Structure 1
Amino acid sequence: MNKYLTKIILFFLIFISNHLWAQGGREFWFAAPEVTSRHADRPIVLRISSFDKSAEITISQPANPSFGIIKQSVPANSLVSIDLSKQIEMIETKPPGKILKTGLLVQATSDVNAYYEVEGYSNRFSADNAEIFTLKGNNALGTLFFVPMQTVYDNHSEVRFNYNAFASFDIVATENNTTIKISPTKGIVGDSLGVPFTIVLNKGQTYSCQSNTVNRTNRPTGSKVESDKPISITYKDDSIQKIDAYDLVGDQLLPVSELGTEYIAVRNSGWLPNAFTILTDDIFITGTKNGTRVFLNTDSIFLNEGESKHYHFNKKDSCVYVKSSEPVYVLHVSGFYNELACANLVPLKCTGSKSYQFLRTNDEDFVINLIVKAGGESNFTLNGSKNLISPTSFRDVPGTNGIWKYGRFNLNVSIPANASKPYVVTNSTHDFNLCVLSGGFETSFRYGYFSSFANLNLGPDKLLCQHENIVLDAGLNKDSYKWNTGETTQTITVNDTGTYFATTMKDICPFKDTVHIGLYPKNMQPILGNDTSTCSNLSITILPKSKFRTYLWQDKSTSDKFVPKNTGQYVLEVTDSNACTRKDSLFFTSFTLPKPQIVWDKNEERFCNDSLFTFSLNNSFKSIKWFNGAITNTVSATRNNSDEYFVTVKDDNGCSGSDKILIDCSPYIT
């Protein structure tokens, strides 16, 4: 972002129509990147959109109980934005080279999509440093990754401002005792020589591998990350410099198991009306196996494991077709004008959907790219109209022998900004992939690549709490489903331990996955003690008998203690370290104090002149103590000099009460 220009807010939402966007799911793990505050690192917002069912959202940090739990309801076919800026110091994965507890876990009761957005507005620079990180659910979890990075642009650096923008990859563990081997290709913070090392993370713990330098040639691109349990990795490159603009780019990575061998990258720069002729499209291809042959249009290269090659689009490259002999990563850095963003491309094979929805929320340049197999280009509609997506705008993808086509559509005039309803792109016969691009000259740029993943991923093995159900989800937009339990639906609900597997079909691609369900040991820790009581003039504090992660009392308070005021039932719901909830209650009684009354004949003159007088009480009590030490219900005594006569009693509950009388005898003394 050009630091001398005022900010133009840019926000766009992409969410896919019902039953279609397989990047969605019910559980999302994310290691939020640290973005320099010297440029712009906030607001940070979690955007969550629902499909045709409402969803209850829970956001937590399993390794950090002090973060608490954020809950949010999302109505059907709706979007909510959850501003996390106040918790940014607990969320960003910093400092690098240390085991942290910043991992975010987002859970939903039905399928949703989610993305994490750095809006990146700085009052000092009046500049955007924005990017979106699409959360990929179970598809983001794996045990083998290579980290693709851009190697064309340096990070912006100003010594006078102590500018600290760097590239990094951030890891989060999804299970306890996860052993992770990190093999950096260049020096990183804490490992200046780039020597392989091993760390052990518990559920929700994180680790940031940050480049030692802002220099583009020393990025740890191609670094290998292996684990014995599922992890997720986020890539970010902060404030990368393009002439006088510098922007944040990044994405959540896919594990090697989710990669493919065919990709299409469509050039986004240099073709819009009034656009600069400067081309800002680059792809970075990273190998996962030795001897991988990669074809780019008509050229070919060889890649070894962890090796990366850069290809810069030229004026003849409206798009580039990438085909490889083994799975590879393809990172596409692109933009309008000098503004940049990036996306990890999704493989072509057996991916795509027949319908997508999107919103346009500002009047900056707005473009969609469509990728479809030949024969499908004539069957698109936008909000029911065929006029806006003309089949004549599609071109053959070079190198595919006419099998694939792509189209770029400038919708600046065709669709108004800030419409109250989303726009819908559909194809009546073919699955397709959608890219949405939005930005302006020296403002900002966002690049979203959306597709239905072809794979089947039931997620890691899971442990349930006692009496808990879990929904197993075979993913959206499959042609058929079959579970070993006999169901043929996308999801099943289970509460028994055992092994569950599903088989699905997508186009010509069959998939199968298995998940094991177990139970956490029953938590026998006591919560509350026995019923309790106290006298109404005293207070009592109810303290749980054990330590728990969270507390929720019947009045919605969340302290680890409670001071009751009135007689009644008090209920506490606790969450333990496994996120299992339990309830307990006790009955508290606030006893009314006894109210003794001193009975006497109330003849002050006789009282003052007699040498002996008698006091009694209106009721019987468990214990009595008069002013002169007597302990009986009735007392006979002589007059004292203080003219004050009192009694203190206790009832069967041990509560105390008192009464006193004042008798002034001075008028009667002569």
Structure 2
Amino acid sequence: MKKILLIFILLFSLAAKAQRDSEHWFAPMMARLNDGNKQALFLSTDSTIPFPVSIYSNNTLIGTITISKGNPQSFDVPWDDIITGTQSEVFKATGRGLYVKGEKPFFCTFRFSTKNHGEILTSKGKAGIGKKFYAAYGPLGVLGTNYNFTCGVLATEDNTTVTVSNYGSSVQFSNGMTGTTNPTMTFTLNKGQSYIMEGSGSITANQTGFIGAKIESTKPITVTNGNFNGQITNSMNGGDILMDQSIPVERLGTEYILVKGIGLISQNVEGAIVVATENNTQVFLNDATIPVATLNEGQFYKVTSSSYINSGFSGHYNMRISTNKKIYVYQLMAGTTIMSDITSGANYIPPLNCFLPKKIDEIGMINILPYYTTITPLVKLNIITEAGATVLVNGTALSATQGPYPVSGNPNWVTYSVSNVTGNITVESTKAVTAGIAAGDGNVGYGGYFAGFSSIPIIAKKNGNCIPGMILEVDDSYASYQWSFNGNPISGAIANTYTPTKPGNYTVTVSMGGTCAPVTTPVFEVVVPPLPPSLLVDQEICIDATTTLDAGAGYESYEWNTGATTQTISNVGPGNYWVILGYNGCFSRQEAAVKVAPNPIIKKIDLENKKATVIVEGGKPPYMYSTDNTSWQNSNVFNDLPNGQKRFYVKDAFNCEPVSVEVTIINIINAITPNGDNINDVISYRDLGYKKDLSFSVYDRYGNNVFKGTAFNNYTWDGRFSNKKVLTGTYWYTLSWKEPNLQNTAITYTGWILLKNRE
């Protein structure tokens, strides 16, 4: 087993803040090697103000460190938090993987090694999460049980379903499945959970059979793929860990520039792996007009060292790869010219793009790899920038011998090389720039890209899965923004974030200014997942009663303001309540008020011939009526009432404590004979004068008012109108007042009076 000498190529995109991001994810891997392992996160930033970064595994905080410009930090990570060498830990959901979050953007790499091998995963930040990927690894040149392919998936949201397909039918996975018996794999992960797929390098079909496997998910994931361990030559030279974080398909491009590492062209270790994502993908090298290969979806092509062009400086070679459709490009590189030590690395390369930055600030501790013993690698910095630019490295202008060198097939770009670079790196250019390094120390080397992966603007969810609460975002360093909904510009939506108010298709058009034309992101569809029906409604109860609130079945979580976490809460009294319902990654707040039921009101009681009619309003019908609070009836009419005090009770459908009114049932005089004998000469209600709003009126058969009782006439009628006797006959009367209760219940007596006047 050869010791390692990897390559470190880094491509930056400060403008798009790809790997310089506030959040980073690392999916796990399966190791065929476990000997003197060391692994750590390396973090750096351009912020002069220190800020903390939190590190999680399996949704649990495992550490916090503080970084600032000029003060990068490393954090040792336990092996089992991201790597396993145990067969029983693959092909199942586990908690392996890392999530790293800071208050400000920062660069983050995961650097790891065994005694004889090592590699770097460079996080692509939010640019590294998506829903569609194609797997890649170094084709195995020889067979051996210490070689493999490995592909890890880490979920960033709950209830993420992942489907893997498009691998060779003869592929044999290490759990016994084959491409024939299982042409697809499907598994579901929650946030922070991961799943590793792996196959042994001792099987011929596994040498290339999983390259181009399609990985699709219902929610954003991150993917780590490669070999742990790999051997890309057909000899025992070139073996190493070949591993990098993948990029979702929408981040890919069609043009790439590679600068050769330290290996010799004649050794044929350096080159590239091109993976197609669509049928009829034509691959062109340098300035060729005839494709070197035409690939269908998932197929790959290996570019050899001979395709590099000597750009006029000994040891400086570059190459252009272009296609008519989006592709993955993984550069295969070497870090030494000594064939007996030479080993390889595979690193994803970002595409050229108008949105690349002019400054890369800063990558920390570029020449350090956590290793079982001290190493001092030599570092070669390779720079790619637009033609005519002035380039500075750590503030120093580059010499003529360091570049620029032309790129065959694209006169708009040039390349540079700078030897013996160490420490923290800042690259500045007056035009768009990317950069990379190759590093090694004898048998030991390392490599990985740092940035440039989100130069194609993509909409992502900043937080939330539901409306309201969801926030969409694109990178925050473009010159201008304009959001659109279903193809129509949204008035005032000109920031890098937008809060959608309804489901539909959202895009944002961004510009960099200058000659760089504005571009519009791919459509981001906001889909509101259907929620189970909520049963939570306002309720009314009696003042001394309690009730039960039910939020409805089917939700994954319940969080009441009472502290309860159940579907229902019981013995609830009057008050305001809310519950946060969780479902499919969405959280919605439902509210309910428990109010005291309003009492019915006895508005009026009509009395006639010992009959009472109780008139009620308010409350909740139907009403029940009683005169003793024991026997109840549906009818509001009571007959044959005796004279004297009588209380009427009413309750409504809530069956609360009844309301009541007490009424005096009086003896009504039905006839008067005003003849001066002091017997039935008058009809008088002066004894009711204390009643509120007392009214006593008499009408003839034609409705004419012949008497109006007042305090001045003592509510007494003597059969006269305007001091004259009226005719003998039958007259209609009304007698009314309001009882002194809260409702001012109106009491009304009506009936007929027989008047006999004698001349």
TM-score relative to the length of structure 1: 0.65
Q: CA deviation at 1:260?
A: 0.7
Query: CA, structure 1 residues 193+498, in 2 after alignment: closer, same or farther (shift >3 Å)?
Result: closer
Q: Tell me the secondary structure at the aligned position of residue 306 of structure 2.
A: coil
1:296-375 aligned at under 5 Å gives the runs 296-297=285-286, 298=288, 299-300=290-291, 301-314=293-306, 317=309, 318-337=317-336, 338-356=342-360, 357-358=362-363, 359-361=365-367, 363-375=376-388
Distance in 2 (CA, whole Å) between partners of 1:461 and 1:68 is 21
Cα deviation code 1:571-592 (max 9, x no counterpart): xxxx999799xxxxxxxxxxxx
Quick check: 483-492 or 338-347, which moved more?
483-492
Asked whether 1:278 is paired with 2:267, we answer yes
Asked whether 1:453 is paired with 2:454, we answer yes
Q: Tell me the secondary structure at the aligned position of residue 138 of structure 1.
A: helix
2:184 is aligned, of 194, 197, 201, to 197
What is the letter of the counterpart of residue 295 of structure 1? F
Q: Tell me the secondary structure at the aligned position of residue 444 of structure 1.
A: strand
- Aligned partner of 1:627 in structure 2 is none
CA contact (8 A) 2:285 2:322 kept: yes
Q: CA deviation at 1:480?
A: 2.7
Structure with higher Rg: it is 2
What is the letter of the counterpart of residue 427 of structure 1? S
Cα deviation code 1:197-226 (max 9, x no counterpart): 242313233222212434563441111122
Q: CA deviation at 1:28?
A: 2.5
- Aligned partner of 2:644 in structure 1 is none
Q: Tell me the secondary structure at the aligned position of residue 354 of structure 2.
A: coil
Query: CA, structure 1 residues 527+475, in 2 after alignment: closer, same or farther (shift >3 Å)?
Result: same
Distance in 2 (CA, whole Å) between partners of 1:365 and 1:579 is 50
- Aligned partner of 2:276 in structure 1 is 287
Q: Which consecutive residues of structure 1, in runs of 5 or more, have no partner in the other structure? A: 158-162, 530-544, 548-574, 581-670
What is the letter of the counterpart of residue 378 of structure 2? D
CA contact (8 A) 2:30 2:83 kept: no
TM-score relative to the length of structure 2: 0.58
Q: Quick one: percent identity of the two aligned structures? A: 21
Q: CA deviation at 1:83?
A: 1.2
Cα deviation code 1:98-153 (max 9, x no counterpart): 233324332333222222121x143xxxx3x2111111122122222211222153
Cα deviation code 1:585-615 (max 9, x no counterpart): xxxxxxxxxxxxxxxxxxxxxxxxxxxxxxx
1:104-183 aligned at under 5 Å gives the runs 104-118=98-112, 120-122=113-115, 127=116, 129-154=117-142, 157=145, 163=146, 165-183=147-165
Q: CA deviation at 1:11?
A: 12
Asked whether 1:59 is paired with 2:70, we answer no
Asked whether 1:225 is paired with 2:238, we answer no
- Aligned partner of 1:551 in structure 2 is none
Cα deviation code 1:254-310 (max 9, x no counterpart): 111111111112221336xxxx95342121111111111111222511000111111
Q: Tell me the secondary structure at the aligned position of residue 407 of structure 1.
A: strand
CA contact (8 A) 1:173 1:231 kept: yes
CA contact (8 A) 2:332 2:345 kept: yes
- Aligned partner of 1:503 in structure 2 is 509
Distance in 1 (CA, whole Å) between partners of 2:9 and 2:409 is 33
Query: CA, structure 1 residues 45+303, in 2 after alignment: closer, same or farther (shift >3 Å)?
Result: same
Query: CA, structure 1 residues 90+480, in 2 after alignment: closer, same or farther (shift >3 Å)?
Result: same
Query: CA, structure 1 residues 452+207, in 2 after alignment: closer, same or farther (shift >3 Å)?
Result: closer
CA contact (8 A) 2:280 2:295 kept: yes
CA contact (8 A) 2:128 2:247 kept: yes
1:398 is aligned, of 400, 408, 414, to 408
- Aligned partner of 2:550 in structure 1 is none
- Aligned partner of 2:692 in structure 1 is none
Q: CA deviation at 1:491?
A: 5.7
Q: Which consecutive residues of structure 2, in runs of 5 or more, have no partner in the other structure? A: 310-316, 337-341, 369-375, 484-489, 532-554, 567-581, 588-759
Q: CA deviation at 1:74?
A: 3.4
- Aligned partner of 2:38 in structure 1 is 43
Distance in 2 (CA, whole Å) between partners of 1:579 and 1:78 is 39
What is the letter of the counterpart of residue 409 of structure 1? V
Q: Tell me the secondary structure at the aligned position of residue 302 of structure 2.
A: strand
CA contact (8 A) 2:137 2:242 kept: no
Q: Tell me the secondary structure at the aligned position of residue 349 of structure 1.
A: coil
Asked whether 1:27 is paired with 2:23, we answer yes
Query: CA, structure 1 residues 171+315, in 2 after alignment: closer, same or farther (shift >3 Å)?
Result: closer
Q: How many residues align?
A: 502
Cα deviation code 1:311-369 (max 9, x no counterpart): 21128632221111111111111011213222111111224211123455464221111
Q: Tell me the secondary structure at the aligned position of residue 520 of structure 2.
A: strand
CA contact (8 A) 2:402 2:418 kept: no
CA contact (8 A) 1:463 1:518 kept: no
CA contact (8 A) 1:27 1:138 kept: yes
CA contact (8 A) 2:124 2:451 kept: no
